Amino acid sequence: MPKDNQWQQYGKYIGLAFMLPSCTLVGYAIGYFLDKAFGTHFLTLIFLVLGIAAGFIELIRETRPDK
């Protein structure tokens, strides 16, 4: 394995490690601010679940071997 390719793989997996938490955090933040704007209490949960789902979908897409 060439040294450049090894560093590219490290970068890819480090990016994957931050993808799921960041998608979750962004979904939560969107829901939280929408709840504050509209005076509701359910949008945080909805956008949190959507953020988690988006993170898992992207994680699965990136780790599939048939790319």
What value, to the nearest 5°, has the Cα angle with vertex 32 and ends 28 and 35? 140
Is 8 among the domain residues? no
Whether 3 shows a pLDDT value over 70: the answer reads no
Q: Is 66 among the domain residues? A: yes
Domain containing 59 equals 21-67
Model confidence over 8-66: pLDDT tens digits?
A: 888 888 999 999 999 999 999 999 999 999 999 999 999 999 999 999 999 999 888 87
pLDDT score, position 25 = 97
Residue 63 lies in a domain: yes
In this structure, what token pair is assigned to residue 19?
């993808």
**Considering the domain boundaries, does residue 33 fall inside one?**
yes
CA angle 62, 49, 45 (to 5 degrees): 155
Predicted TM-score (pTM) of the model is 0.83
- Domain assignment present for residue 55? The answer is yes
| In a domain? residue 15 | no
The number of distinct structural domains making up the chain is 1
